[in-house]
Chain A
């Protein structure tokens, strides 16, 4: 979102990530309805927020692209462009932060709801007061959360030693690399594209795993 592709490939990828996250959330809620397992509910909630954050990101990026094209003929569109960018980035970041906090809390396997509330409050307050460093603070926070989430999935793979757990662990490691890479997005378009490619690889692993889970 910070560096915009003229071709709009990011809109397509973000929509795809949103759809895959939504599928994962729906599957988790279905499993929750069958098992009443608290962790599957948290997993579903986390991916619902992540899915929504991707859809918001895609929508606002699409609106920015539309306005950019319009701005060629009308320079008056620029304030709208800035407003879309601001609104899109903030909404995406807040939704993604909530999703990552819930997912991290799920991996901790604790029953204390107060811990979840504390993690949410600390993260959102840190973002709220970070002002012009909003994006940097978000990327640091998300990287920290992805580290903890990845540890959980790597441990899960070491316990199960099967293909599905390996795909999941790899997916979250790629999301971690993508998150680290996003920190360099201000350095140029290349890093922005690379971050999307890493996320794409991660979501392809998740999709592959999803296929294996549903395969009879």
Chain B
């Protein structure tokens, strides 16, 4: 949960459009782990991937991603209280 929060937080802090290298640098994850997390976040609808004219990938938060960040504190307290990981 914290890793997901950190990735989404980095994307939001970077003006909602960020390259994977920036996320890699900020999140302290290995390339392989980050790729897995990003794939998971796209599948679950937290972020969308966009490919620019030069073929660069950028990531953007969806409404679901914003909601997750806004309610993270309550979600985390609820999940921790009941051991729902």
Residues of A at under 8 Å CB distance from B?
Answer: 27-28, 31, 34-37, 39-40, 43, 106-107, 109, 152-153, 155-156, 159-160, 162, 164-165, 167-168, 209, 212-214, 216
Contacts and interface: CB of A to CB of B under 8 A. Distances in A.
A88 B15 CA distance: 57
Nearest to B77: A213
B74 interface: yes
Contact of B79 (A36, A37, A209): A37
Given A34-B75, A213-B77, A43 B82 contact: yes
B84 A43 contact: yes
A124 B78 CA distance: 31
Interface stretch (B21-29, B30-38, B53-61, B64-72): B64-72
B82 A168 contact: yes
B81 A35 contact: no
Given A39-B84, A39-B85, A213-B74, A34 B79 contact: no
B51 interface: no
Interface residues of B, number: 19
B84 A37 contact: yes
B7 to A, nearest CB: 14
A168 B67 CA distance: 26
23 contacts: A28-B84, A31-B75, A31-B78, A35-B68, A35-B79, A39-B84, A40-B84, A43-B84, A106-B84, A107-B83, A109-B85, A152-B83, A155-B83, A156-B80, A156-B83, A164-B80, A164-B81, A165-B83, A167-B81, A168-B81, A168-B82, A212-B81, A214-B74
Contacts of A39: 84-85
Given A36-B44, A213-B74, A214-B74, A31 B81 contact: no
Contacts of A156: 80-83
A35 B75 contact: yes
A149 B84 CA distance: 12
Interface of B: 1, 44-45, 64, 67-68, 71, 73-75, 77-85
Contacts of B68: 34-35
Contacts of A213: 74, 77-78, 81
The 10 closest A-B pairs by CB, nearest first: A156-B83, A164-B81, A39-B84, A213-B77, A36-B44, A213-B78, A168-B81, A40-B84, A34-B68, A31-B75
Contacts of B74: 213-214
B1 A35 contact: yes
Nearest to B67: A34
Of the candidates B45, B71, B83, the one having the most CB atoms from chain A within 10 angstroms of its own CB is B83
Nearest to B65: A34
A209 B1 contact: no
A181 B56 CA distance: 65
